[in-house]
């Protein structure tokens, strides 16, 4: 472990040594090299790699693993990261093999049973021809336990409450509280905020901004008895557009299917009364989804998340860095969240490790990380913002591989948006095709644009991601049968 020696880089404080029992005397903050806030994918990845690099890392997680979390569909670009962490086989053991994504044809009644499958093996320079669908409770617990095995002082049920910044603008002390209510203090040389939507540092420093271009909200649960696709495609994610947004079907282990709808906020605002009934009405209003859900039984709570698109105005500062959802989140349509969190974790580990060794390079390292991250996110954003427009629907209904553009879209679906110039070039061609198609479909393209603009202003803040009662106070319990086919609305 990196100790506080004479080699401690300039610009960082010497930290008090822990007592022989491992914890400091009461009132004395525990010194460490890096304190990671949050033990989700971003936090565990960052912490593991920094510990491997010889640093003394403390990771604080406010909940206790395994715990429910949404975000179950991984991308092929996750696979090399899992391999580098040494976790590929363990994740394979808890995951469902995902060969690709399918997008049902919508808006063309004569093709209402058709869907287009985009297999990852057709991506340009595929790094992996598959990914996994995972129960996040199991996946996150695995990553967290692995971080601990790699030497991270990983603590659960410890909530970070506040970071006290010193006169030099660097984090001086991190204050936290454990499950028994005891106050804890840490004196890290570096803080990595991986606290997800809680955005601990972003909130404290007032850096978090609502996304003004795009807003959506989601309602979802777990079911058993939902039909899967045939054969090798049985593990694929389905992304189904509908009038008020889009629906996902993600096959999970043990015959469970995660089913959820991401809706325009004004649609979710219409919800009256029972959250459970609203979810089922929404799903059953889509004939293709209803057909797959005949006889399905709900086996999980119903969750609602309100408007969740936001970004922090910067990613780091002296002695601190944000990673994953703690920095930004847009929309889950391309299942990019966990990949972005873990890719960001790898980047953060590199930046923090180098900044601790060479503090003079800190600003440049952070700036380069932020530029790369924003560049990748922009490619996802471009597709996300337009996903429900008539033009994008048309292009996904009629995929064509002219100039390998379809393959580039599959590469984007695989997460390959950061460092592959061949993909980036062809995604630019796709944008051109989109613009030309917009001219051809001008009236409906204009309607789509106006709708998107209107939705970005609608607020819907409900959130039941944490177990228990919804924003309407109604707790939706598992075990409720899905409505039968008789109740399906055309």
Ligand X SMILES: Cc1cc2nc3c(=O)[nH]c(=O)nc-3n(C[C@H](O)[C@H](O)[C@H](O)COP(=O)(O)OP(=O)(O)OC[C@H]3O[C@@H](n4cnc5c(N)ncnc54)[C@H](O)[C@@H]3O)c2cc1C
Q: Which residues contact 367 (CB under 8 A, 6 or more apart)?
A: none
# binding residues, ligand X (CB under 6 A): 39
Tell me how far, at minimum, the Cβ of 116 lies from ligand X, in Å: 19
Selected binder of ligand X within 71, 104, 300, 390 (CB under 6 A) = 71
Identify which of residues 62 and 222 has a Cβ nearer to ligand X in the complex.
Answer: 62
Q: Is 73 in the site for ligand X (CB under 6 A)?
A: yes
Question: How many C-beta neighbours within 10 Å does residue 186 have?
Answer: 23
Q: Is 196 in the site for ligand X (CB under 6 A)?
A: yes
Identify which of residues 259 and 391 has a Cβ nearer to ligand X in the complex.
Answer: 259
Q: Is 63 in the site for ligand X (CB under 6 A)?
A: yes
Bridge partners for 187 per DSSP: 31
H/E/C letters for each residue in 111-169?
Answer: HCCCEEEEEHHHCCCCCCCCEEEECHHHHHHHHHHHHHHCCCEEECCEEEEEEEECCCC
Identify which of residues 300 and 324 has a Cβ nearer to ligand X in the complex.
Answer: 324
Selected binder of ligand X within 173, 198, 297, 463 (CB under 6 A) = 198
Q: Is 137 in the site for ligand X (CB under 6 A)?
A: no
What residues between 76 and 135 interact with ligand X by CB under 6 A?
Answer: none
Q: Which single residue is written with the structure tokens 């790094």? A: 127
Selected binder of ligand X within 8, 28, 66, 70 (CB under 6 A) = 70
What residues between 313 and 352 interact with ligand X by CB under 6 A?
Answer: 324-326, 329, 332, 335-339, 341
Among 195, 219, 143, residue whose Cα is nearest residue 325: 195
Cα separation, 196 vs 463, in Å, equals 14
Query: 310-312 and 208-210: which strand pairing?
Result: antiparallel
Selected binder of ligand X within 12, 238, 282, 305 (CB under 6 A) = 305
Tell me how far, at minimum, the Cβ of 255 lies from ligand X, in Å: 19
Q: Are the beta carbons of 460 and 269 closer than 8 angstroms? A: yes
Element holding 279 (H helix, E strand): helix 275-284
Cα separation, 101 vs 239, in Å, equals 7
DSSP letters of 368-392?
HHHHHHHHHHHHHHHHHHHTTSHHH
Q: Is 261 in the site for ligand X (CB under 6 A)?
A: no
Identify which of residues 315 and 391 has a Cβ nearer to ligand X in the complex.
Answer: 315
Tell me how far, at minimum, the Cβ of 8 lies from ligand X, in Å: 27
Identify which of residues 39 and 483 has a Cβ nearer to ligand X in the complex.
Answer: 39
Interface residues toward ligand X, by CB under 6 A = 37-43, 60-63, 69-73, 159-160, 194-198, 200, 218, 260, 305, 308, 324-326, 329, 332, 335-339, 341
């Amino acid at each position: 472990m990196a100790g506080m020696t004479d080699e401690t880089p300039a610009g960082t404080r010497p930290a008090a040594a822990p007592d022989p029992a491992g914890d400091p005397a009461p009132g004395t903050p525990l010194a460490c090299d890096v304190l990671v806030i949050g033990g989700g994918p971003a936090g565990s990845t960052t912490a593991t790699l920094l510990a491997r690099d010889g640093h003394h890392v403390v990771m604080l997680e406010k909940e206790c693993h395994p715990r429910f979390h949404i975000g179950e569909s991984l991308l092929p670009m996750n696979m090399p990261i899992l391999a580098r962490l040494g976790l590929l086989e363990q994740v394979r053991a808890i995951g469902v093999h995902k060969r690709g994504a399918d997008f049902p044809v919508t808006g063309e009644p004569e093709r209402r049973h058709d869907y287009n499958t985009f297999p990852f093996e057709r991506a340009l320079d595929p790094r992996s021809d598959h990914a996994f669908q995972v129960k996040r409770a199991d996946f996150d617990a695995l990553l967290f336990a692995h971080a601990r095995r790699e030497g991270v002082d990983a603590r659960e049920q410890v909530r970070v409450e506040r970071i006290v910044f010193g006169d030099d603008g660097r984090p001086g002390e991190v204050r936290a509280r454990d499950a028994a209510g005891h106050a804890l203090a840490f004196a890290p040389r570096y803080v990595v905020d991986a606290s997800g939507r809680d955005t601990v540092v972003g909130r404290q420093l007032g850096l978090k901004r609502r996304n003004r271009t795009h807003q959506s909200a989601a309602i979802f649960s777990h079911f058993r008895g939902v039909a899967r696709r045939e054969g090798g495609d049985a593990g694929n994610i389905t992304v189904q557009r509908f009038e008020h947004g889009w629906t996902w079907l993600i096959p999970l282990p043990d015959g469970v299917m995660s089913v959820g709808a991401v809706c325009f906020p004004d649609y979710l605002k219409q919800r009256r009364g029972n959250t459970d009934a609203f979810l089922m009405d929404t799903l059953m209003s889509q004939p293709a989804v209803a057909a797959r859900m005949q006889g399905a039984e709900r086996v999980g709570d119903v969750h609602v998340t309100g408007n969740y698109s936001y970004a922090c105005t910067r990613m780091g500062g002296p002695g601190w860095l944000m990673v994953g959802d703690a920095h930004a989140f847009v929309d889950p349509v391309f299942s990019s969240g966990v990949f972005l969190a873990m890719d960001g974790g790898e980047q953060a580990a590199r930046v923090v490790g180098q900044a601790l060794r060479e503090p003079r390079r800190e600003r440049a390292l952070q700036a380069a990380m932020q530029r790369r991250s924003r560049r990748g996110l922009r490619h996802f954003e471009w597709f996300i913002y337009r996903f429900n427009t008539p033009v994008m629907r048309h292009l996904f209904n009629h995929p064509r591989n002219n100039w390998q553009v379809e393959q580039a879209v599959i590469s984007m679906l695989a997460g390959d948006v950061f460092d592959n110039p061949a993909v980036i070039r062809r995604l630019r061609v796709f944008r051109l095709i989109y613009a030309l198609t917009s001219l051809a479909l001008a009236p409906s393209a204009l309607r789509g644009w106006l709708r998107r603009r209107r939705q970005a202003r609608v607020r819907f803040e409900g959130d039941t991601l944490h177990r228990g009662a919804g924003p309407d106070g109604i707790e939706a319990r598992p075990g409720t049968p899905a409505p039968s086919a008789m109740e399906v609305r055309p």
